[in-house]
Amino acid sequence: MKRILADWQFYLCLLLGPLSWWGITYFQPMRADLGFPAVAWYQFVLIILVYPLLEEIVFRGLLLELLAKRFVQRYGLLSVANLLTSLVFVLAHLIYSDWIWALLVFFPSIVFGYLKERHQSLLSPILMHGFYNVGFFWLFWP
């Protein structure tokens, strides 16, 4: 944890969250009332804690690791394994989201995969995923 919190790139990725939320406004208007959405407590827990934890275990912990053994190529900071994992992440989001929302998770997925590869830990992508979901929940939840 100490290593993650000392990493300036972790904070840069944190700042990319609000930037991605701003980008989403081109496709989806923000809620008119920016008070915190009135939802059942379990919905909030699912979106902020459970989904990030489970998705990061499956996509960055299992799939990214598996693909990284087969695809070692990199394009600058991005690995082919991260790009492929992010494409699968988008496809998985088509199960419960419309296509535009599914496409919009591609960029955050790249960030989460980058952090996993950088820190060799699931902690930073889990934290970042939860933070990004807080913004999506607060700004765009119906």
| Residue 47 to residue 87: CA distance in whole angstroms | 21
> What pLDDT, in 10s, does the model give residues 91-125?
999 998 889 889 999 999 999 999 999 999 999 99
Non-local (6+) Cβ contacts of 51 within 8 A are 129, 133
Phi-psi region of 76 (alpha: psi -120 to 50; beta: other; left: phi over 0): left
Asked if residue 101 is part of any domain, the answer here is yes
| Residue 45 to residue 95: CA distance in whole angstroms | 20
Asked if residue 103 is part of any domain, the answer here is yes
Boundaries of domain holding 129: 42-134
Asked if residue 116 is part of any domain, the answer here is yes
Strands 78-79, 74-75: pairing is antiparallel
pLDDT band at residue 129 using 50, 70 and 90 as cut-offs: very high
Q: What is the pLDDT of residue 34?
A: 74
> What pLDDT, in 10s, does the model give residues 3-53?
999 999 999 999 999 998 998 888 888 888 877 777 788 888 999 999 999
Asked if residue 81 is part of any domain, the answer here is yes
Q: What is the pLDDT of residue 37?
A: 74
Domain count, the chain: 1
Asked if residue 139 is part of any domain, the answer here is no
Asked if residue 82 is part of any domain, the answer here is yes
| Residue 22 to residue 19: CA distance in whole angstroms | 5
Q: Residue 90 corresponds to which tokens in the numbers above?
A: 């988008």
Asked if residue 14 is part of any domain, the answer here is no
Q: What is the pLDDT of residue 97?
A: 86
Asked if residue 111 is part of any domain, the answer here is yes
- Report the first-to-last Cα separation within the chain, whole angstroms: 34
Q: What is the pTM of this model?
A: 0.92
Non-local (6+) Cβ contacts of 55 within 8 A are 89, 129
Q: What is the DSSP secondary-structure string of 35-87? A: SPP---HHHHHIIIIIHHHHHIIIIIIIIHHHHHHH---EETTEEHHHHHHHH
